[in-house]
Structure 1
Amino acid sequence: MRSFVTLVVVALLSAPPLTAQVAAAAPAQNTPPRTAAVEEAIVLSPFAINATTDTGYAATSTLGGTRLKSELRDVASQIDVMTSEFLEDIGALTLDEAVRYSMNIESNEENFSPGTDPNSNSIFGSGSGSRTRGLSRSNNTHDFFETNVPLDTYNTGRRFTLVSGSNAILFGAGFAGGTNDVAFDRPVLRKFSGNTTIRTDSNGSLRASVNLNQPLIRDLVGLRIAGLRADERDYREGVGSITDRLYTSLLIQPTKRISVRGWLEKYESKQRNAANTLVADRVSPWLATASRPFFNNAGLTPSSTAAQFNTAFNAQGADLAASAERFNNVTSAGTVVFNLDGSQPTAIRNWTNTVASRRPLDGTQDPSIVDPAIYPLDQNVIGNALQRRWRGSIHGLIFELNPWRDVFVEGGYNREIFDTRSLSFVSGNNTDLRVDLNRFQPDGVTPNSNVGRYFVEDDITGSMWRNRRTERRLQIAFAQDLGRRGGFWRWLGSHQGAVMYTGAENMRVQQNNNNARIISDNTFDGIVYPAGTNAANDSTRNTRRLRSRFYLDTPQNNSGRNQFQVQAPFNLWDAETRIIGKDSAGRDVVINSGMSNPYGAQVATSNGKKKEDSIQYGMQSSFLEGRLNLTVGERFSKASFAPWVGQGNTTGRLPRRYNALTGTYEEPVRRGTAIVFPSDGRAVGNAGFEPWDAMLSRGGEHDSLDAPTKYDVSSRLKSVVVHPLGRDGIPSLHYTESSSAFVADFTRKAPNGAEAQLDDGTTREYGFSVRFLENKLVLRVNAYESVYLGINGGAPTPPNPVAVGGNSGMDRTDIRWTSIHIEKSVQNYNLLKSGGRYETAATGTPVLGGTANGIDSGSPIRFFQDDVSTWISETAAGTAFSLKYVNAADRIAKGVEYRLIANPVRGWSISASLSQNNTRSSNISADWFGVIGLRLKSWLTAANDATTPQRAGGTGPTQLHINAATNANESLLDYVRSSALGWAFLRESEGAATRQEVEWRGNLTTSYRIQRGPLQGLRFGGSLRYRGDRILGYRNKTVNTSDLSADPILGTPGLFAPGSSISIANIDQPIMGGSNWNTDAVVGYSTTLFKKRIRWNLSLNVRNVLNDDTLIAQNGLSAASTPVVFQYPEPRVFLLTSGFDF
């Protein structure tokens, strides 16, 4: 990569300065100048298109309809082509930049904040990140091979094709949202050519690319090399990315009828991410009190009881009670604390029985701080504490043959490996700004030097994923124009079609939420490790991980350093194993943050391998001299999915675990109810899991997969385009139906153990278009209905349920978790009632003994129940179960799209789009409501028993398996009733809009290129983007529980107390976020140099010209009935781009 940077610098320095002799300027054009690539590029119809036929913003042909070259006027599907000139005018060099100006794609930056999960930025998850038509992300492809590597213009010809709707007769299966495609740059065989581009901006970013083509043997062998180095910076300090890419391609063309093209690309990106939303508020309740009190925690330690804490807390006044709450850290060993200068004011301690500042509202997300006097709105509190690293490699080839006239053969192969790794001290979802109110450190003796200072705190988390995809294809195509023969034959029309074979294998391995682990043996106040355990044999226990706390400056409490962001005291990627601090006994605490943990990973490898072999055909026919155009296609797939071992039920194989005695990973075996290592018979306990890289390196791909589940699925396309007055007449009418089946490259299980249906889709579109003056103005109106089936994680998130009997919180917002937690507690209840006993009095302790756990051998959800029964008590199940089980919903989108492309006079280009979309949820969490319906009566029987053996001895109400930190005395009945509020929200959400749905979305881009005179070559223009009012949430309504008697679940006797009422979402009263506008401008100059051998183009793009800083609403809470979470808009930024084509 360093040599590439040198190459870029040389190329740029060798470019002529502005004072160089300028050749007579050629007339400015609406299309790019012809390059060597255009002059002699081999185009074997119907597999390639010629971008030089694009005029201004208007494209004429595409492969996006059926993978066969077609004129856009004859394609019924909604296809937007972003031409080179359009991308130049909006200043977009990547697809991520370009989709901001798209008609129907919501980008990540508009709506979402990053976390350590790759899904949060749509790398793998179709239901996460960007959305097309409010449904799913569009899958990205190069040359119609699916890719996870971000699409960029440095090696793709400066042209993006965006296909909306499901269409799986394309090579590869398309998501319900659509497909975005680019074509890798081909080598050309006639002469040396290339281009260089350098861009800088007012944030300090610098991006340079070079693309060089060299014939090795003229007209026979050509080589293309392209490279990119980008140091992208954000307006917020510390945010940005450094990206390196290198691309090579070799073309061999022994004859005009044969060509073979191969490619190789390497990609690496190191990112420092920020939350898109403003800092969350956990300080305003304290600031609002008259006394702004501190908590005198003298004498309290992590070992103190809740009663001792309450006695001290309740005696210190109403202001403290209104602004603080008990902190009970039961999910980690302790917290490593950093001062502003990176020093540690205290040993790593557990902060249980200190206080944390309280949130101002009850809800799943804290409101944003919108007062800059509390925290600056344009700062990134995360700093460099959330980092991600993506690596990818692609290699492949395509051969094209034209053995006979009008017969074409294409074969292709592509292999891609994409890794993503994340490490976070503070994630994008946990940016709560808090104030330290404790007068003493957690030992209750040492004065707290940071009392009154602000801080952020979170678990130290990480994730590692790898996706390896191999695709191969072969198609035979033909083209026949019978109309040319005249006479009777002309009625038989023209036809092109293809029969295609595609084969794909996708292997995904992931160890999500693989938190940094303590690998040394230490002592932490209030933490007791079971006898006989140590870091080597007990590594998955929650109390083998850490939290981190960083103190910050704020305008009201500024040290003079103006350090408003987290500054991690070391580079997160320097080493995976490091000393992070000392425990209270003065011993070093050693952590490992990645895959090199000597004692294994925290979670088992999940996902698996998908295989698919498909036969498909596509046929396009044109009759009546082009007036009637028909397209049909079908795809027949035989597919299978094999999960990694350990994702099965209690009878399946188990994932390998680390045996501390032998120092190796072994596959455990079951001996009765015990799980042991086969080599020595020792219990596995909380031993670490085999990391996925270790598993793959020993050949685990061949021996660590369970038996595959097989599928036979089909996808279809049929469409018609009618030009009643001829192909050049107006109007044209279009109609299409399409579908995609078995799209997802991963799987989740339903509660019955079956692989869940994920990411399938259907689309129906119809409308008309008009074309005037030889395509100088094209207007297309398209109505659609798209259905997205089986969205993993697509169910709405309930607000944190309102208190029931004084209890709230405890992960009630995920119906999977509530079902799992209740089922586990009821299984414990049955064991206790059949002679079992709690192992210890600690929360989460397992039940030993007992003769019956209440699982019916014939239960249709036996798979799920057996899985719950093996839940290791000390390990949080939420993440592990959410990676295994689907929580799905369907989405139905209906809308109308208006698209105008015009070149009214030479040099003037216009692109305008307006879309109205309504996306609604349906079949929300249907599988889990099936679980609840089947088990609820048994759950309530257990929950209403007041004579159940207790952890501490005696009898009482049935207890939860694990209690929330803030609800240590909550009973199972309290939890069930509180969880039912979330269930009611989901039931009431049928037909609700998807989160942050924007109904109206509009874009206008225009530019004018001066054609003659002293200003010839100058261009100017701009863009206007409109995003309409969005639905952020819903207000609450109160419902008497007696009115729910007709509901088969919510009306179950005993679920709610007699005469009670509940507060649930009212989907008839949405919380709206308001609309927003954004204005951009561009000024540029283009000319030729050195006798037209070089074309120079200079562009100045200005985004957010008016520097509008109006906050953008992102989320609303029913408790507030107004938007409470906001995003700060990107301030005005200037981008200067200089490019040379030669």
Structure 2
Amino acid sequence: MQPFEIPAGEAVAALAHFNRQAGGLLIYPGEILAGVRTRAVRGRFAPLDALARMFRGTDIVAARDDRTGALLLRRRASPPAADPDFTPVIPMKPKHPLGQLASLLAFALAPQLHGQAAAPGSAPAPEDQTVKLSPFVVQTDTDTGYAATSTLAGSRLNTDLRDTPAAISVMTREFLIDIGAVNVTEALGYGLNTEKDFSDFTGNGLYSNDLVIQMRGFVGASLGRNYFGWFGAHDSYNVERLDFSRGPNSILFGVGGPGGIVNTTTKQARLGRDRTEVQARVASWDDTRATLDVNRTLGKKLALRVNGVWQDKKSWRDFEYQDRLGGALAVTFRPFRNTTVRLDSEYSDIKENKAQPWPAADRISPWLNAGSPLSQTYGAAVAGTANNSSRAMVYDPASGLGPLSYFGGRISNSGPVAIGLANNPIAITDETLLPRRSNLAGPAFGTDQSFYNYAIFIEQRLLENLDLEAAYNRQHERRYTVRPIVFDGIALRGDPNVFLSDGRRNPNAGRSYVEGVTQIENRNQIRDDYRVTASYQLDLTQRSQWFGRHRFAALLARRDNENLTPGNFTERNLTPHLLNNPAVYSNDLTSGNNTIVRRTYLDFSGSDLDRRGLHDIRLHPITGQRGVTSGFVRNADSSRDELTRLDSMMAAVQSSFWKERLWLTGGVRTDKQRAWGSGGARQDPVTRVWSQRVRNANYTYNEGSTRTYGGVFHATKWLSFYYNNSGNFLPNSQRSDLIGGDLIGNRNGEGQDAGIKLSLFGNRINANLGWYETTDQNRQVGIDASWTNHVNAIWRTLGEPGRQISVYADSQDLSGDGYEFELTANITPEWRTSFNWSMTKQITDNVSPRTVAYMAAHRATWEARGALDLDRTGTALTAPTVAAALQNATVIVDSLLAGNGNIRRGLREHSGNLFTNYNFSRTSRFAGFGLGAGANYRGDTVLGYDSSQRNKPIYGSSHILVNAMVRYARKITAKKLDWRIQLNVDNALGEDELLVTDADQNRPYRFVYLTPRRWSISNTISF
């Protein structure tokens, strides 16, 4: 008798669970299982009894071969004939280590035996027809409920999670379905010590990247797809599961951030299975979506899988939407017993308007607080306003005024600023001024993105224990982004001018408005990956149990990443000569005077969307109005033609000793990077518009060697101890004048993990409790330009202009440690639970060491000439002498050094997630129903620092979001259809507080909106 926990489902997948839990090989004719579904089995049974319970109600029966003891499956009408030449394959519960290894192999083979096992009435397949488990592929069919069994993330080879020392968490397909996640971003809400990052106060990362992730508090975690590097976030329509590898992991990627990596396993074509799934989904705010998943086997050697998605998604924010059309094709071809060829390909077209997650900036409150006074004479000063020194042409199509300059008029363009946010204005929280749903950037602020990907994998078994995989992957992304307003320009302003600059009366005097200068950003990236991986298995237990079993992996890889970006283009007046004022509006199109500013006066009281944000520039071109014709020019040296080539070598070994109670993993890796930059752009002699860059002939070179080592000790069947140590690096191509133009050097990540693993109640409950420590050394940072200006002014004063600093870079270190707990439970066949909790600390150290050394090296020279009058040419400096400039520069550096020992801004010390689901059994009066509930807890966040108390951290408040799920599923027998309808409600309690993200001792500055209560209903049919 032994414990079994086998869910109901397709027979092939259920038998994979049976083999793993029974510990033996089951032989069956593949075709007899087509369309067969098994019952759930839970409890302690003899293996033969467990099989009988699984197939109760079908025409499949289980038997034991009297002579060999092996288990066989057959149909009732045609019992298998005895074969006198039958050779025992693997008896149940083998005691010899080789038998145990074969049993493990049998478990992995179970999903593949369909269509490849013995024909009815024949003996089991001879050895030369057996297809063995690939060491390079994870079989997701063996994932049970929320529990995954294996991963590639620990050693690049398919390994049981319980034998892997690295910190790895898996979200299975069933878990992703239950939480209703349609993309990786939504799934992150349940990630252990992982979340979407909002610490980039500029907002630039929100538009240049699909997803910015922080893991363990380190920003910039890597993204992967089938363990190739990846550009952006994935949609779930083509996702089988997600693997979260926390901390540095050089076996996976030697070049990467220290936080970790989120890898997506895409759907693969399955041999021996024909299956179709169609889903339609509707959700809050006119969100509609449809997906298709079709798997077909063509003969015995070829399988195709087609996935598709169509989405038309609106949002609770004005103008925000996402339209997606995508398709994926996967192919599995097994021409020979030891050869497998797989294709993974996808194309997607995504159009979206993405609202910034925080309220617009305040550029109006000083004027409002003064009573909104109007300037009755053009240019006359009134309280709360400033003089407008811009010559740019302002265009508001709704006013019918045509393009005109507001030079010399009054503007409401100021408000409180946040020193900790590079002096950016604070956000508006008064919803009588700015409704929460507003999106001032308007309908044109969006991205048109398309990408395609194709990868081919060729796996070949060369010898019994030697496997080889050759793989190639190409990604090509084009991204066209229109930004009518950039950076902190998304702000609310007021117009105090009663008259216009040309003497006409201003019809919009006293009204609020939004304005911006439109930029178009083009991105074109191509990434080619070439990878060869070898796996060799060596079993020395035949000589001695102490010699163990060993699996070796070796990898050679090359990645070519081409950045062929045309650059950024800004809207300009292409016909300045028609304004007949060449002294102001010259033919230099890069001049700020030739800028076109788009403006819309706002009205949130009506239903006219055109008055709720900046107008759509695509609908309102300027063609010769008042001498102005709009167009887009490359007004800066922003194009790129770059190639980064990364050559990698890796060797790893995983060994098991003492009857697989001790598992040791180790690896070494070398990565060499060559980077060809670009330059040579020229400006047109008349228009001053920049040309496209060309690639440099010379390259910069970086290399790094990293290592990984760790182990797992299974003290008992239910208690294990683990330890892991690993590193990685990121090249820094930036040079620093402070140290003679040398490269800053590599950014290095180091991490170690230790803890315990628990496997309780027959593997129904699995838990990990771990401690970790991670360092991020030599992380590149900048400095306030004021410091550079003061230092350069000193050198000019001393008659040494050649020592001025033109390029600056320095570094700092981050170190973090904490605890993580994760529990995954398939408590019963009906009840699933996932829970995780993390405690995280992270501090900044060794801030700007080169700057400190530079100041110390030159201080005596500067102090000796301190009485000299400072050369302030071309600057806004006010320091009168060298001594005063030195004092100001010292204050700036001292403020940097005050950051030593600080907890990183944006860090959460505590976070946790829970989701549980119960599906009522077939015998229950509620058969077919499932209920689920979840919660996402986010602890206090470091918002900033109190400079009056030696930079004491300022914390924000915690919050909890509660989610719910209800499902009904049944089989429509007449059509042989499985039908499922599911309701998900996120933020079920309707939490709507503004979450503060930045503050000092005086006030909060930046906030993030919580997404309101949201529901979705998905209707799924599979057959």
Shorter-chain TM-score category? Answer: 0.7 to 0.9
What is the DSSP-based 3-state SS (H/G/I as helix, E as strand, rest coil) of the residue aligned with 2:372? coil
Tell me if 1:919 matches 2:842. Answer: yes
Using the TM superposition, name which of 892-901 and 757-766 deviates more: 757-766
Tell me if 1:1133 matches 2:1017. Answer: no
What is the DSSP-based 3-state SS (H/G/I as helix, E as strand, rest coil) of the residue aligned with 1:66? coil
Tell me by how many angstroms 1:129 deviates: 2.9
Match 2:331 to one of 242, 250, 258: 250
Match of 1:279 in 2: 360
Tell me if 1:347 matches 2:403. Answer: yes
Tell me by how many angstroms 1:440 deviates: 2.4
Residue 560 and residue 1005 in structure 1: after superposition, are their counterparts in 2 closer, same or farther (change >3 A)? closer
Q: Percent identity?
A: 24
Match of 1:719 in 2: 710
Tell me if 1:294 matches 2:241. Answer: no
What is the DSSP-based 3-state SS (H/G/I as helix, E as strand, rest coil) of the residue aligned with 1:429? helix
The within-5 A match list for 1:785-800 is 785-792=773-780, 795=781
What is the DSSP-based 3-state SS (H/G/I as helix, E as strand, rest coil) of the residue aligned with 1:855? helix
- After superposition, what is the alpha-carbon deviation per residue over 1:727-751, rounded to whole angstroms, capped at 9, x for unaligned? x232x1111110113x45x843333
What is the DSSP-based 3-state SS (H/G/I as helix, E as strand, rest coil) of the residue aligned with 1:99? helix
Q: Which amino acid aligns with 1:603?
A: D
Maintained 8 Å contact 1:40/1:188: no
Q: Which amino acid aligns with 2:469?
A: E
Residue 264 and residue 237 in structure 1: after superposition, are their counterparts in 2 closer, same or farther (change >3 A)? same
Match of 1:432 in 2: 491
Match of 1:265 in 2: 346
Residue 208 and residue 930 in structure 1: after superposition, are their counterparts in 2 closer, same or farther (change >3 A)? farther
Tell me by how many angstroms 1:27 deviates: 5.4
Counterparts of 1:227 and 1:168 in 2: how far apart (Å)? 34
Match of 1:902 in 2: 825
Maintained 8 Å contact 1:275/1:428: no
Tell me by how many angstroms 1:213 deviates: 2.7
- After superposition, what is the alpha-carbon deviation per residue over 1:467-516, rounded to whole angstroms, capped at 9, x for unaligned? 32211111210223444x4xx52222221111111112222244665433
Residue 1101 and residue 900 in structure 1: after superposition, are their counterparts in 2 closer, same or farther (change >3 A)? same
Tell me by how many angstroms 1:1136 deviates: 1.0
Match of 2:473 in 1: 414
Match 1:854 to one of 790, 796, 801: 801
Maintained 8 Å contact 2:933/2:965: yes
The within-5 A match list for 1:1006-1085 is 1006-1012=916-922, 1013-1037=924-948, 1066-1068=950-952, 1070-1085=953-968
Tell me if 1:203 matches 2:285. Answer: yes
Counterparts of 1:292 and 1:970 in 2: how far apart (Å)? 39
Match 2:741 to one of 721, 733, 753: 753
Maintained 8 Å contact 2:520/2:568: yes
Q: Which amino acid aligns with 1:1067?
A: N
Tell me by how many angstroms 1:786 deviates: 0.9
- After superposition, what is the alpha-carbon deviation per residue over 1:88-132, rounded to whole angstroms, capped at 9, x for unaligned? 121112111101111111214x666784x4x345739xxx93211
Residue 1094 and residue 171 in structure 1: after superposition, are their counterparts in 2 closer, same or farther (change >3 A)? farther
Counterparts of 2:851 and 2:642 in 1: how far apart (Å)? 23
Counterparts of 1:399 and 1:167 in 2: how far apart (Å)? 25
Match of 1:5 in 2: none
Match of 1:688 in 2: 689
Q: Which amino acid aligns with 2:601?
A: Y
Tell me by how many angstroms 1:931 deviates: 5.4
Counterparts of 1:48 and 1:241 in 2: how far apart (Å)? 33
What is the CA RMSD across the aligned residues, in angstroms? 3.5
Q: Which amino acid aligns with 1:924?
A: V
Match of 1:99 in 2: 188
Match of 2:89 in 1: none
Maintained 8 Å contact 2:40/2:829: no
Tell me by how many angstroms 1:453 deviates: 0.5
Residue 1113 and residue 723 in structure 1: after superposition, are their counterparts in 2 closer, same or farther (change >3 A)? same
Match of 1:1046 in 2: none
What is the aligned residue count? 905
Match of 2:13 in 1: none
Maintained 8 Å contact 1:141/1:179: yes
Counterparts of 2:598 and 2:866 in 1: how far apart (Å)? 37
The within-5 A match list for 1:308-457 is 312-313=380-381, 320=383, 323-329=384-390, 333-338=391-396, 342-360=398-416, 363=419, 364-427=423-486, 429-443=488-502, 445-457=503-515
Tell me by how many angstroms 1:1024 deviates: 0.7
Q: Which amino acid aligns with 1:1022?
A: A
Tell me by how many angstroms 1:522 deviates: 4.2
Tell me by how many angstroms 1:199 deviates: 1.8
- After superposition, what is the alpha-carbon deviation per residue over 1:408-444, rounded to whole angstroms, capped at 9, x for unaligned? 111111121223332211236332212112222245x
- After superposition, what is the alpha-carbon deviation per residue over 1:149-170, rounded to whole angstroms, capped at 9, x for unaligned? 422222232x111110111222
Maintained 8 Å contact 1:621/1:631: yes
Match of 2:648 in 1: 614
Counterparts of 1:828 and 1:463 in 2: how far apart (Å)? 38
Q: Which amino acid aligns with 1:167?
A: N
Structure 1 segments unaligned to the other structure (5+ residues): 1-22, 301-311, 646-654, 662-685, 796-813, 831-851, 857-863, 869-880, 947-956, 1038-1064
Match of 1:1053 in 2: none
What is the DSSP-based 3-state SS (H/G/I as helix, E as strand, rest coil) of the residue aligned with 2:437? coil
What is the DSSP-based 3-state SS (H/G/I as helix, E as strand, rest coil) of the residue aligned with 2:828? coil
The alignment's TM-score, normalised by the length of structure 2, stands at 0.82
Residue 43 and residue 25 in structure 1: after superposition, are their counterparts in 2 closer, same or farther (change >3 A)? closer
The within-5 A match list for 1:148-187 is 148-157=231-240, 159-170=241-252, 173-187=255-269
Match of 1:624 in 2: 658
Match of 1:781 in 2: 769
Counterparts of 1:438 and 1:929 in 2: how far apart (Å)? 49
Counterparts of 1:922 and 1:419 in 2: how far apart (Å)? 39
The within-5 A match list for 1:97-176 is 97-108=186-197, 115=203, 117=204, 119-120=205-206, 123=209, 129-157=212-240, 159-170=241-252, 173-176=255-258
Residue 779 and residue 396 in structure 1: after superposition, are their counterparts in 2 closer, same or farther (change >3 A)? closer
Using the TM superposition, name which of 778-787 and 754-763 deviates more: 754-763
Tell me if 1:547 matches 2:597. Answer: yes
Counterparts of 2:672 and 2:231 in 1: how far apart (Å)? 24
Maintained 8 Å contact 2:498/2:509: yes
Match 1:1107 to one of 969, 983, 990: 990
Tell me by how many angstroms 1:385 deviates: 4.0
Maintained 8 Å contact 1:378/1:1128: no
Q: Which amino acid aligns with 1:687?
A: R
Match 2:895 to one of 981, 985, 990: 985
Tell me by how many angstroms 1:562 deviates: 7.1
Residue 580 and residue 282 in structure 1: after superposition, are their counterparts in 2 closer, same or farther (change >3 A)? farther
Counterparts of 2:512 and 2:498 in 1: how far apart (Å)? 14
Residue 405 and residue 426 in structure 1: after superposition, are their counterparts in 2 closer, same or farther (change >3 A)? same
The within-5 A match list for 1:819-968 is 819-822=787-790, 854-856=801-803, 865=805, 868=806, 886=809, 888-929=811-852, 945-946=868-869, 958-959=871-872, 961-963=874-876
Counterparts of 1:439 and 1:200 in 2: how far apart (Å)? 49
Q: Which amino acid aligns with 2:926?
A: L
Counterparts of 2:487 and 2:295 in 1: how far apart (Å)? 42
Maintained 8 Å contact 1:160/1:182: yes
- After superposition, what is the alpha-carbon deviation per residue over 1:705-764, rounded to whole angstroms, capped at 9, x for unaligned? 141222332111000111123xx232x1111110113x45x8433334344445531111
Match of 1:495 in 2: 550
Maintained 8 Å contact 1:350/1:525: no
Counterparts of 1:384 and 1:26 in 2: how far apart (Å)? 52
Counterparts of 1:64 and 1:448 in 2: how far apart (Å)? 64
Tell me by how many angstroms 1:961 deviates: 2.0
Residue 251 and residue 981 in structure 1: after superposition, are their counterparts in 2 closer, same or farther (change >3 A)? same
Maintained 8 Å contact 2:791/2:885: no
Using the TM superposition, name which of 177-186 and 1071-1080 deviates more: 177-186
- After superposition, what is the alpha-carbon deviation per residue over 1:949-981, rounded to whole angstroms, capped at 9, x for unaligned? xxxxxxxx74352549xx9x9999988866655
Maintained 8 Å contact 2:361/2:488: no
Residue 1077 and residue 528 in structure 1: after superposition, are their counterparts in 2 closer, same or farther (change >3 A)? farther
Higher relative contact order (CA 8 A, sep 6+): 1
Residue 296 and residue 853 in structure 1: after superposition, are their counterparts in 2 closer, same or farther (change >3 A)? farther
Maintained 8 Å contact 1:823/1:939: no
Using the TM superposition, name which of 815-824 and 258-267 deviates more: 815-824
Match of 2:92 in 1: none
